[in-house]
Amino acid sequence: MKKFILFVVVLLCTTSSQSYAQSIQLIDRQQKTPVSNATYQYGQLQGISDANGTITLNNDHRSTLTLSHLQYGVLVLDAQQMEPIFQSGQLTLSKQQFELQPVSIIALHRPVADSLSISFNNQNRLAHDAADVLSQLPEIALIRKSGNYGFDPVLRGFKYEQLNIVLDGAQSANAACPNRMDPPSSQMPVNMLSQITVLKGPYSLRYGSALGGTINFQTEAPHYTTETAVTGRFSGSYETNGTIYRSEALVGFSGKSYDVKLFGSLSDGGNYEDGDGNEVLSSFYRNNFGSLMSFKLNDAQSLRVNISRNYAKDVDFPALPMDLREDDTWLTSLQHSILIDKNLKEWRTNLYATYVDHLMDNYDKIIEPRNVDAVTAAKTYNYGGRTEGHWLFGNNQLYAGMDFRADKAEGERSRHFLMGPNTDKTVYDNVWQDAYINKLAAFAEFQSFYNQWQLTYSARLEYNQADADKPDANFASHYTEMDANTLNTSLSFGVSRQLLPHLMGELWIGHAERSGSITERYINFLPVGVDPYEMIGNPELSSEKNNQVDINLKYQNKGTQIQLTGFMAIINDYISSEIRDDISPKMPSSPGVRQFTNIDQAQLMGFEAVWLQQLPAKLQQRLSLAYTYGKNKYTEEALPEIAPMDMRYKLSGNYLNNHLRPEVSFRHVLKQDRIAESFGETATPAFSLIDVSLNYRINKHLEVNAAVNNLFDETYYEHLTRSVKGTSNAINAPGRSMIFTLVARL
């Protein structure tokens, strides 16, 4: 009898436990298909979803479910969030909206799927130069030749045309100024962007030649509404140090088949003071206006038109022999997309054109004695197109297409002599030699998912043609040929795997080739480098060849995220310059001439780390750091313009139902004494900064922000900041500054 009772009790317990076992199906939100091969952990139970996307759990009403999948990322759900899922028996998942490769994302208006991204709300912290937004990342340093304008980004030691800087994956702009007062990043309209994606390394080859990485500035996606709707916003700010006024506004009209946005911005500022109270020449004026128009032609086709105009004037560049007098830039683009069928999901085509009209002079420069008045007028033209298809084959996907880009530069410098034997004479210099570069390429990227593995294959084949329509006789006398035709091949391979439920690993290997830019091939005796030497281009340059590897580890659980990335790049035929004592400069004040040339090999290596932690009391902390080591393997000297280790820490809170958001940030930059003395570099001292801000949302229409930058009035300068013209003194950064911002929304 006792044995029978024991048997019944065991049977009832077993039946009871089985009654709590429940199947939950994982479903893709967009395609409504099962999500297989997702690893999960629920209490002590671990497993993998089957071919039908099914997992089986016992609801204990207290455990947390952790799901991991390469395409969908890591999802952590607590017991309360699991209750409705147990009731419905279904859990929908959204694919990650970011690239599975070394990447950093800056979200300008709303969070993105990657929670490691940096939020930079441009409505609350207005920026008139997109490169200033990029400086939120420690792996990006800025070459500064002025106090407030025209910053040039450097990513992991790669700079200028070693970086592929594009708008919506296609359009770009060329600097008309030989000294890059107007780099491509300065032409990106910040207030119409939704996010900036920084793809590191030569792995993403769809958007152009990417020797060291791609910086993709992405505009806001269209938002169609069932009813006619009007949206709008206005932001204005005042910065005390430099008396800087900034403003931006947007008005939008939308309906079932259209979304039209009109935007504009205006910024104006004067000289600021450094931490010691010294005045730094930094006046500038900048405005921007344009329109982003989207039209739904039918259920399958859509059209987007983007028109933007940037205008800058009277900008001080104390590190350069001239100041910017006017810079007038137009960017236009047309995009058509069509949804086709289940396999060929989408075909997208872009056409674009960019025009830059640049004028600079030395009229406001204090020069004693003043020997010459100089003016340079230059123009650049950039136009092209891109067409790409997107195929889906089960869990695999393919991107393939072609692109074409044409770059042209023309300009003339006039020198009117005020003293000496040439008094009252004017000499004209052919700055760009009407040089052009045409690039035609085919590209493909295939992503294959199998169990817990993702394999990514990318390839790009590019034909590069360069020549000068108006060659200078003196320049041409140094070369056998002025034209060049090159075929560049780029390949990359990446493997990603979910190593543990909370840990993902990636390995990337890439080879990329890049032909010389218009500056590197055809600049005609102008001081455009790190030191004051006049630079002469070299149309006989070989293509740079980067062989790089990246290793990336990403850990994520409910309250903690950690990402570690290490990289090493070996660049063969690295484009640099050497002093030519046998060539005379055009300006008697110049110390000599540098000629662009290839060096056998250069090395870049380093790492980045990010740690994001949710804390009690509604606090969040973020720690990030980056370091790059650069070396000329031929001379055993450090590469020029390599930033030192940069460490950032930010503590932020969220209170009063997201109405009150305080923030304090700390930045420490180490001393940089690994310098290229042959380029005139000097060591840069370490510095530390503390910034604080407080943001308060009054209601859904009004928001205010107050911030103090450089709270302790530190006197410092960045390593990549150029020296004031004619001195060895760098341009110091602003001292303490208070910023007040008001945001109004419809």
The better pLDDT of the pair 220, 307 is held by: 307
pLDDT of residue 123: 56
Claim to verify: residue 88 and residue 165 sit in the same structural domain: no
Tell me the per-residue pLDDT of 478-531, one tens digit each, with 9 for 90 and over. 999 999 999 999 999 999 998 888 899 999 999 999 999 999 999 999 999 999
pLDDT of residue 96: 60
Short-list 413, 360, 415, 351, CA closest to 383: 351
Short-list 208, 515, 154, 176, CA closest to 354: 176
- Total number of domains in the chain: 2
Task: Please tell me whether residue 401 adopts helix, strand or coil conformation.
Answer: strand
DSSP state, residue 480: S
Residue 98 lies in a domain: no
User: Which of 62, 93, 124 is a domain's end point?
Assistant: 93
pLDDT of residue 635: 92
Tell me the per-residue pLDDT of 320-358, one tens digit each, with 9 for 90 and over. 999 999 999 999 999 999 999 878 989 999 999 999 999
pTM score, whole prediction: 0.89
Question: CA-CA distance, 220 to 119, in Å (whole number)?
Answer: 15
Claim to verify: residue 7 and residue 147 sit in the same structural domain: no
Claim to verify: residue 146 and residue 243 sit in the same structural domain: yes
Tell me the per-residue pLDDT of 49-102, one tens digit each, with 9 for 90 and over. 887 889 888 888 888 888 777 667 677 787 888 888 888 888 988 766 445 567
Task: Express as a percent the part of the chain with pLDDT over 90.
Answer: 72
Tell me the per-residue pLDDT of 587-641, one tens digit each, with 9 for 90 and over. 888 899 999 999 999 999 999 999 999 999 999 999 999 999 999 999 999 999 9
Claim to verify: residue 87 and residue 140 sit in the same structural domain: no
Residue 226 lies in a domain: yes
pLDDT of residue 16: 42
The b/e string for 640-659 (b: 16+ C-beta within 10 A; e otherwise) is: bbbbbbbbbbbbbeeeeeee
pLDDT of residue 469: 96
Claim to verify: residue 201 and residue 73 sit in the same structural domain: no
Tell me the per-residue pLDDT of 170-190, one tens digit each, with 9 for 90 and over. 999 999 999 999 999 999 988
**CATH code of the domain in which 87 resides:** 2.60.40
pLDDT of residue 11: 43
Confidence of residue 108 (pLDDT cuts 50, 70, 90): confident
Is the per-residue pLDDT at 567 higher than 90? yes
Q: Nearest 5 degrees, angle CA 579-CA 428-CA 325?
A: 90
Answer yes or no: are the C-beta atoms of 681 and 673 closer than 8 Å.
no
Answer yes or no: are the C-beta atoms of 512 and 546 closer than 8 Å.
yes
Claim to verify: residue 471 and residue 569 sit in the same structural domain: yes
Q: From residue 423, give the alpha-carbon distance in Å to each of 366, 372, 568, 738.
A: 19, 9, 55, 49
Per-residue three-class SS string for 338-376: EECCCCEEEEEEEEEEEEEEEEEECCCCCCCCCCEEEEE
Q: What is the mean pLDDT of residues 421-443?
A: 95
Tell me the per-residue pLDDT of 358-382, one tens digit each, with 9 for 90 and over. 999 999 998 888 889 999 999 999 9
pLDDT of residue 351: 98
Claim to verify: residue 166 and residue 225 sit in the same structural domain: yes
Question: CA-CA distance, 23 to 55, in Å (whole number)?
Answer: 6
Residue 161 lies in a domain: yes
Determine how many CB atoms are found less than 10 A away from the CB of residue 369.
Answer: 7
Identify the H or E element spanning 396: strand 396-417
Short-list 715, 707, 682, CA closest to 531: 682
Question: CA-CA distance, 307 to 521, in Å (whole number)?
Answer: 31
pLDDT of residue 393: 86
Instruction: Please give the structure tokens belonging to residue 317.
Output: 């560049």
Instruction: Name the E strands within 4-87.
Output: 21-28, 39-42, 45-48, 54-58, 65-69, 73-77
Is the per-residue pLDDT at 114 higher than 60? no
Confidence of residue 670 (pLDDT cuts 50, 70, 90): very high
Claim to verify: residue 19 and residue 168 sit in the same structural domain: no
pLDDT of residue 17: 41
pLDDT of residue 119: 62
Residue 464 lies in a domain: yes
Is the per-residue pLDDT at 220 higher than 80? yes
Q: What is the mean pLDDT of residues 142-168?
A: 95
Confidence of residue 727 (pLDDT cuts 50, 70, 90): confident
pLDDT of residue 13: 45
Tell me the per-residue pLDDT of 650-660, one tens digit each, with 9 for 90 and over. 999 999 998 99
**CATH code of the domain in which 131 resides:** 2.40.170.20
Instruction: Please give the structure tokens belonging to residue 643.
Output: 């930033």
Burial of residue 445, with CB atoms counted within 10 A of its CB: 0-12 exposed, 13-18 middle, 19 or more buried: buried
Residue 388 lies in a domain: yes
Question: CA-CA distance, 299 to 717, in Å (whole number)?
Answer: 54
pLDDT of residue 7: 46
Claim to verify: residue 135 and residue 82 sit in the same structural domain: no
Residue 338 lies in a domain: yes
Task: Express as a percent the part of the chain with pLDDT over 70.
Answer: 93
Claim to verify: residue 68 and residue 143 sit in the same structural domain: no
Claim to verify: residue 690 and residue 541 sit in the same structural domain: yes
Domain interval for residue 387 = 103-109+113-745
The b/e string for 179-197 (b: 16+ C-beta within 10 A; e otherwise) is: bbbbbbbbbbbbbbbebbb
pLDDT of residue 234: 94
Question: CA-CA distance, 520 to 574, in Å (whole number)?
Answer: 12
Is the per-residue pLDDT at 18 higher than 50? no
Is the per-residue pLDDT at 315 higher than 70? yes
Claim to verify: residue 82 and residue 121 sit in the same structural domain: no
